[in-house]
Amino acid sequence: MTSNNPEYTALTGGPESHRVQQSLHQQQPEYFTDDDDDYDTLIESRNIHEQANVHWWQSKSPQLTSGYLTLIPLSDSRLKPRNTRMIVGAAIFLCIASVCIVFFTVARGVTVGSIEVVNSTINFNTSAGTYSIMLRCQLPIYNPNYAAVLLTGRIKVSFYDQNAGYADLNPVLIHARAQPQIITVDVNSSNVPQKYLFTIYTQCFTFPEKLIFFLDAQLKTQYLGSTSMLPKIDNYAILECGSGESGG
C-alpha cells in the first residue's frame, strides 16, 4: 500500500520499518497530521489563540489618557507626609530654642552710676611737711544681662588739674540682673606735687576749710568673650578738712 504524500512510504515488516515511521513522526509538529483539513484547522486555532493573547496584553497595559476626573479629599492619608506631628513639633521646638538663646545671650549695655566719695581721711604732718588723703569711693553697677559680667578699669582723682592718685580695679564679677551692685574702692590721693602743698594746707585751715577733688573712671566689661568699653564717668567731691592736723 502506497500513500499519496511523497514524504510517507508504507513499509511492511521488520524493525527497520518501525524505526523509519518513528523518525518521521518525531520530525513533524504535534499539530501536523496527514489530513490537510486538520492542519488548516490547527493553524486557524493557533491564530485565534495568538490574537487572544494580544488582546489580553493590551487590556493589562496602562492607559496613557483618561476621560475621567478623580477627586481626592484633603483628609486622605496619601496627601499627608509621614510623621507630621514629629516634624512640626521639632520645628516649633527649634524656633523656641533659638529665640530663647538669642534673648538670654544677647549683650545688653552695662551702666555705671555716679562716683560718690563716702568717706575721707585727711592727715597733715606740719613738722615733716607731708599730708595724707585717703578717699573711699563707691560705684553702682547695673547689669541687665542674664549672665555675669567681668568689670575692670581705673579710677583717677585730681586736685584741680593735677593728678592726685589713682586705683586700678581688680577684676570684679558683676552678678546677673544686678540692680545695682555697689563696688567700693579706696584711692590714695596724696600724690599732689609739693608746690601745691601750701594751697591744700591753706584751704584746710582757713576759709573755706574744704578741699575739692575731681574723679573720673574709665571702665570696661567682658561678657561671653566680648569686651566693650564703657563711657567715661566723672564727678567731683568736696571734702571737709576737719581737725586732721598732727604735729611732729
**Of 13-22, 43-52, 146-155, minimum mean pLDDT range:** 13-22
**Of 2-16, 83-97, 113-127, minimum mean pLDDT range:** 2-16
Number of helical H runs and strand E runs in the chain: 4, 10
Decide if pLDDT at 148 tops 90: yes
117, 237 in Cβ contact below 8 A? yes
Prior bond of 73 cis (ω within 30°): no
Q: What whole-number distance in Å separates Cα of residue 46 and Cα of residue 55?
A: 14
CATH of domain 111-246: 2.60.40.10
Angle at the Cα of 197 (from 192 to 203), degrees rounded to 5?
110
Domain boundaries, the chain: 14-51, 111-246
Q: What whole-number distance in Å separates Cα of residue 110 and Cα of residue 173?
A: 13
Q: Is the pTM of this model over 0.85?
A: no
